[in-house]
């Protein structure tokens, strides 16, 4: 087999995208019947569902804090998600670390001080895995938190960036992720603040800034898309509350657009 070529002579990537092109992004709100808030997000073939419970009384009273809410994150990966079937045990180190980084991303953004002595539980399901797991999980969690009506400072939007020779590229697939140095950035687009930078590969420091800035820019674009989806959903709900005729049809059209 020939060597994997991340970027061909025509400046196209292995899946036919331009370096700065994102995969198709789609999201749905309220996908789970019993959670307080839930969202399902897909970036290309990566599909993640997040469910939010709370703010509620903590299951484990000992962990509660008297001045703010506790944020709990749990991640489970479906055995069929990746290329090979793989069953992960519950206490899998890698999954725990992943959950911890999502928790750290959202703790400063959720206004936890409004809910003292309570718990906000976030459960993330990975249904499909094709690179960009962290970005998809963060975006899904943002939408699920919004769906649950939990006050946050801003959207958190996240995107991964990679580098091939001197060309930076956005939104990597799993083949690209295994071959290229990559960084995942989560930003608060309005203030431009960054809540997460995660890099597990080596990269020359001179190249870092370019990738970082591109990922931030991309995050702002994603924020616009997420905002559109939230507004559409809210408008549909508002129409249903007013109980106008023909709401069903309009609602159907909305979901088709997604």
Partner 1 sequence: MAQPLSKAESSYTAAGLLNSQRPDGRSLLDYRPITLATGVAPTANGSARARIGDTDVVVAVKLDMQRMDEEDEEEGRCVCSVECSPSAFPHLDRDALSDLSTDLTDHLRTYLTPLLTSPQLLIIPHARRWQLAVDALVLAHSGNLHDTLFAAARSALWDLRLPRTRGVVYDAPGTGVGGDGSGTGSVERAGVLDHMRGMGRQAVDFELEDGADEGLPLEGRDDLPVCLTMNLLSPVYYLDATSVEEACSPTRLLLFVRPSGTLCGIQKLGSAELHPSELKQALQEGVKHAKEMAGTMNRRLREPTTRSLGSNLGPFS
Residues 49-78 that bind partner 1 (CB under 8 A): 49, 51, 53, 59, 74, 76, 78
Per CB under 8 A, 255 contacts partner 1: yes
Q: Give yes or no for residue 240 binding partner 1 (CB under 8 A).
A: yes
Residues 2-31 that bind partner 1 (CB under 8 A): 26, 28-31
Q: Which distant-in-sequence residues (6+ apart) come within 8 Å of 65 by Cβ?
A: 116, 117
Site for partner 1 in 211-230 (CB under 8 A): none
Question: What is the three-class DSSP state of 123?
Answer: strand
What is the rounded CA–CA span in Å between residue 166 and residue 145? 37
CA distance linking residue 117 with residue 103, whole number of Å: 17
Does 83 bind partner 1 (CB under 8 A)? Our answer is yes
Does 175 sit near partner 1 (CB under 8 A)? Answer: no
- Minimum distance from residue 204 beta carbon to partner 1 (Å): 33
**Residue found by looking up tokens 């469910």 in the block:** 51
Binding partner 1 (rule: CB under 8 A), the pick from 4, 79, 231, 244 is 79
**20 φ/ψ angles, rounded to the nearest 5 degrees:** -100, 15
The site for partner 1, by CB under 8 A, has a size of 38
Nearest partner of 215 among 148, 141, 134, judged by Cα: 134
What are the percentages of helix, strand and coil residues in the chain, rounded to 5? 35, 30, 35
Among residues 119, 125, 145, 226, the one that binds partner 1 under rule CB under 8 A: 125
What is the smallest separation between the CB atom of 28 and partner 1, expressed in angstroms? Answer: 6
Of residues 119, 130, 176, 177, which one binds partner 1 by CB under 8 A?
130
Q: Give how far Cα 258 sits from Cα of 41, 51, 221, 229, Å.
A: 11, 19, 17, 8
User: Using CB under 8 A as the criterion, which residues of the chain lie in contact with partner 1 when the complex forms?
Assistant: 26, 28-35, 38, 42, 45, 47, 49, 51, 53, 59, 74, 76, 78-83, 85, 87, 90, 123, 125, 127-130, 237, 240, 255, 258
């Amino acid at each position: 087999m020939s060597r994997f070529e991340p970027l061909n002579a025509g400046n196209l990537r292995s899946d036919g995208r331009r370096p700065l092109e994102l995969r198709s992004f789609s999201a749905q709100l309220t996908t789970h019947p019993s959670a307080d808030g839930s969202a399902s997000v897909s970036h290309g073939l990566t599909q993640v569902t997040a469910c939010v419970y709370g703010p509620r009384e903590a299951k484990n009273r000992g962990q509660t804090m008297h001045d703010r809410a506790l944020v709990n994150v749990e991640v489970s990966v479906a055995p069929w998600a990746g290329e090979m079937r793989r069953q992960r045990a519950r206490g899998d180190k890698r999954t725990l670390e992943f959950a911890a980084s999502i928790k750290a991303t959202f703790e400063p953004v959720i206004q936890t001080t409004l809910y003292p002595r309570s718990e906000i539980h976030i459960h993330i399901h990975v249904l499909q895995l094709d690179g960009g797991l962290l970005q998809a999980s963060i975006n899904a969690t943002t939408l699920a938190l919004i769906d649950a009506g939990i006050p946050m400072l801003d959207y958190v939007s996240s995107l991964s960036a990679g580098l091939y020779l001197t060309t930076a590229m956005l939104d990597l697939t799993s083949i690209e992720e295994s071959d290229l140095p990559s960084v995942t950035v989560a930003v608060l687009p309005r203030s431009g603040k960054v809540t997460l930078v995660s890099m597990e590969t080596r990269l020359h420091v001179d190249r870092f800034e370019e990738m970082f800035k591109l990922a931030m820019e991309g995050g702002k674009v994603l924020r616009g898309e997420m905002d559109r989806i939230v507004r559409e959903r809210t408008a549909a709900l508002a129409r249903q509350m007013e109980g106008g005729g023909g709401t069903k049809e309009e609602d159907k059209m909305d979901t088709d657009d997604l």
